[in-house]
Amino acid sequence: MTRLQRLFRIAWVFCRYRLDTFLPLAELPAPLKVFFLLAPWHLFPKPKLSRGDRLRLALEELGPVFVKFGQILSTRRDLLPDDMAESLKNLQDRVPPFSSHLAREIIESSLGAPVAELFKEFTPDPMASASVAQVHAATLRNGQQVVVKVLRPGIERVIRQDLSLMYLMAGLLERYWSEGKRLHPVEVVADYDSTIHDELDLQREAANASQLRRNFENSSLIYIPFIDWDYTRKSVLVMERIHGIPIADVPALQAAGVNMKVLAEKGVEIFFTQVFRDSFFHADMHPGNIFVDVSNPADPKYIAIDFGIVGTLAPDDQSYLARNLLAFFRRDYRQVAQLHIQSGWVPPDTRVNEFEAAIRTVCEPIFEKPLKDISFGHFLLRLFQTARRFNMEVQPQLVLLQKTLLNVEGLGRQLYPELDLWSTAQPFLESWMRRRIGPSGLLKSLQTHLPSWLEQSPEMPQLVHDALMQLREAGPTEQQNQATLELLREQQVRSDRRWRRGLVVIILVAAAVIGTRPEAQAWLENVPAWSWALLAAAGGLVLRGSR
């Protein structure tokens, strides 16, 4: 289908579901306003459906690329009214499968051998068919049951066409709609562009799955199927076949005797473990990708699939996010405002008092509710909406995290309506913060950085010399040279002090660790006295130099 044909197809669906009613006609330029008022879609009767259902059905009819876009859009409550977001949540990623003949051709082309040689059994009819790929059941030669995920043929060309049209429509909205600049439609499409292209490389998805599997090896929380790398390529992925009850099938879970409270709380723990312990989280945890192992109903275990979208957080973002959440829980709005400024999420010239007052105004009504009635995901959403009023730039890593949290919270409340996300999350966050800033965290940080410090320290004199030679060759004024030399001296002094204080900290931490171990104390009793004298003299020199 050419781009022009595709454009006509989109226009037909637009007319059929009367999506023109979503347009801000009053804000359009006069020529466009006349065009829309006289356009042929007025000949179509307006469907007797809510606006959200009309949008959902239109996206389903436009095909898999638009369906996936609608799914992602449903998580952006900052962009859509609640009724439309709720309708888009019901988008089903069940698209017609492509022929098994084509699937076999792609497998054989990617793996370089006939399907009959690669697999002991291969089921031609797909188990499931989604936006960018479909899945077939198979059995390896060694008897292992697997699933074979095959990328849709020609999907990259279709995605390019649809994305170019999405960018066109988003650009028009941003230019002519008064809310366009605030809602950043072009930015939303760009975010989707990045996401959908990540999903087109099945080797990337396989690598994500392998990382998550290592992170949760032997865990009682979640099981990640293993990837067979010998049979995995860019367009083909072979993964262990899992068996479980879909998490959305609540009646089946209840019939199996599953402890729903434990299951819901485990979901929350999985999310916070991925975000704060690993800084690597499954960012597509909608009900279609999650199953439950009910072999032990009293202690059920999650099973995850589809790892095309993952998120990560930098250490600074992890720390600021955890401290923000804890400060919110304690209603310390000033610290929240200060943390936003320190993190760079809002401009440094933001007035702390004004920002604090805005946050308090938004959050106090929320905290008047019982904790179990507070939505953690919507809470974060209100925070980001407030911060945006103070020119907070969009933080892609936080948007992905918010989307995942909304999914997790929605699943948890569906499983166990009394789920108190706050009381489940707070102990985890406090424990993580203690580990991060306590002695164990300090020791780990020293273990991480000390080798590079030791490696770089001999190079410092040479670096200073090279800098001085460059300054002399550049020929600056005597005053500039003097200022530069003074700055270099100050930096060298500070570096020496940090280095010596670092040694002091290492000695103190080592002493604390050794003091708690009986075998170490026994060894220390046998150390000669002259060694202690030498150590004391060295310590005195270090302390003297750090002054």
How far is it, in rounded angstroms, from Cα 6 to Cα 260? 46
Quick check: 58 and 12 in contact, CB under 8 A?
no
List, as own/partner pairs, every contact residues 71-76 make where C-beta atoms lie below 8 angstroms and the sequence separation is at least 24, other chains included.
Answer: 71/286, 72/191, 72/192, 72/195, 72/403, 73/188, 75/402, 75/403, 75/406, 75/407, 76/188, 76/399, 76/403
**Cross-strand bridge partners of residue 133:** 151
Start-end of H helices in 177-292: 180-183, 185-198, 202-215, 250-255, 260-272
**Cross-strand bridge partners of residue 137:** 147
How far is it, in rounded angstroms, from Cα 311 to Cα 325? 19
Token pair of 218, please? 């032997």
Q: List the one residue out of 64, 101, 110, 118 whose CA is nearest residue 237.
A: 110
**Cross-strand bridge partners of residue 222:** 302
**Cross-strand bridge partners of residue 151:** 133
CB neighbours of 230 closer than 8 A, spacing ≥ 6?
A: none
Tell me the chain's radius of gyration from C-alpha atoms: 29
Q: List the one residue out of 380, 387, 422, 424 whose CA is nearest residue 405.
A: 380
Residue positions counted in the chain: 547
How far is it, in rounded angstroms, from Cα 277 to Cα 293? 24
Identify the helix (H) or strand (E) that includes residue 12: helix 3-16
CB neighbours of 177 closer than 8 A, spacing ≥ 6?
A: 24, 27
Quick check: 504 and 543 in contact, CB under 8 A?
yes
**Residues that are catalytic:** 284
Question: How far is C-alpha 450 from the geometric centre of its chain's CA atoms?
Answer: 30
CB neighbours of 62 closer than 8 A, spacing ≥ 6?
A: 9, 10, 13, 162
How far is it, in rounded angstroms, from Cα 240 to Cα 224? 9
Q: Sign of dihedral through CA atoms 361, 367, 369, 375?
A: positive
Q: Torsion over CA of 456, 461, 463 and 469, rounded to 10 degrees?
A: -170
